[in-house]
Amino acid sequence: DGRFGTAETKNLGSCMTNRLSAAGLFLCTLCGALLIAGCTRTAETAPPMMAAPVKVAKATKRNVPVSLTAIGTGEAYSTVSIRSQVNGELQAVHFTQGDFVTKGELLFSIDPRPFQAAVAQAEGSLAKDKAQLDLDNTQADRYQKLFDAGVSPKEQFDQAKASAAAQAAAVQADEAALQAAKLQLQYCSINSPIDGRTGALGATPGNLVTQGGQQALVVIDQVTPLYIDFAVPEQYLASIKKFMDKGRLAVSAIPYGDTASDTGYLTFLDNSVDNATGTIKLKGTFPNSNRRLWPGQFSTVTLQLSEDENATVVPSAAIQSGQSGDYIYVVKPDSTVEQRTVKAVRTIGADTVIAGGVQPGETVVTDGQLRLLPGIKVDISAAAAN
């Protein structure tokens, strides 16, 4: 009947549903197994992590100078302002402004004719007075003989003797006047009193120059040797005095715009501290035979006080800064890196003195630190190839 047909249909639908569920479960299980197998195969065939390319250097042990650095200014060893010592017309200049001149070299010539005439006049006066002196001495000798013979009174003898003495004094005055005239004639030729470099000319030929004029004819600076003036904080005064007592201290100077340094020695320590700046003034003397240092030029000055013996030194590029302080990556024998904390003592040029953390001879990373973490392998040759 109708009820039997309905029940059979329900059973048939339930059976089909169970078969579909079993097939779906089988398909899901199969897909999962395939997925797991694929992942396993991918993990097994994945390439290993590449080593990070870095640049390295060796930590070294050496003696490092303990020094102070400041900005210094060149100062001429001596400065001479050349002025005329006579009044006259400037006839000639025997150098070009800016030339180096030597001691005794002729610089200026002033018209000598008025002074030559004065010398001739003084010579004439001297000759006249010498002739008169000879006559007075003869008369004094004659009156002496007459007085000794009792013929001439003593008064005439005394008068003749006084006249001879007065004429001798006149001769001495004439000789002094002649020397003064000759000296004025010598002043017509102005020679350099030092070795040095000339500055700008203050007068040209044809100008009238005056004795001790306000404007110098030229200024000469002696630049070999040369001073470098600099100042350091007063807190270092005790250390400088202590090391100066042990011997002279070396000073190096690098002129602005240059890279090579010149070496000299500390030769002056001021006798007071500048209260306005809290610094003490120092001077170093440099031979300056190559004339690289110049008056008024700025230089970076380094005063060496002593040396740190057997200090550990690494390139400054190897030191990194973190929240816990400075650190360095050290390359271990298995080409992995290890992070170590260090303390930077001071920097000398491109190197830094460190305390602790690294031993001399160990390899430190100087470039490529941003790619690193502790334990990562590094490739030194790859960085070298780049």
Q: What is the pLDDT of residues 50-108, one digit of tens each?
A: 788 999 999 999 988 888 899 999 999 999 999 999 999 999 999 999 999 999 999 99
Between these two residues, 383 and 364, which has the higher pLDDT value? 364
> How does DSSP assign 316-365, residue by residue?
GGG-EEETTEEEEEEE-TTSBEEEEE-EEEEEETTEEEEESS--TT-EEE
Q: How far apart are CA 255 and CA 295, in angstroms?
A: 11
Q: How far apart are CA 218 and CA 105, in angstroms?
A: 14
As a whole-number percent, the residues of the chain with pLDDT over 90 amount to 67
Average pLDDT over residues 215-234: 95
The pLDDT value recorded for residue 4 is: 40
State which amino acid sits at residue 166.
A
Q: Residue 383 pLDDT more than 80?
A: no
Average pLDDT over residues 288-300: 94
Q: What is the pLDDT of residues 32-46, one digit of tens each?
A: 544 454 444 444 444
- Residue 11 pLDDT class (50, 70, 90 cuts): very low
The pLDDT value recorded for residue 29 is: 53
- Residue 15 pLDDT class (50, 70, 90 cuts): very low
The pLDDT value recorded for residue 48 is: 55
Residue (of 56, 55, 49) closest to 383 by Cα position: 55
**Beta-carbon count within 10 A of 189 CB:** 14
Average pLDDT over residues 232-241: 92
- Residue 356 pLDDT class (50, 70, 90 cuts): confident
Q: What is the mean pLDDT of the chain?
A: 86
Q: Residue 318 pLDDT more than 90?
A: yes
- Residue 381 pLDDT class (50, 70, 90 cuts): low
Q: How far apart are CA 86 and CA 90, in angstroms?
A: 11
**Looking at 139-148, 222-231, 339-348, 375-384, which range is the least confident one?**
375-384
The pLDDT value recorded for residue 49 is: 61
Q: How far apart are CA 55 and CA 318, in angstroms?
A: 10
The pLDDT value recorded for residue 221 is: 97
Average pLDDT over residues 309-323: 91
**Looking at 27-36, 122-131, 345-354, 371-380, which range is the least confident one?**
27-36
Average pLDDT over residues 365-373: 91
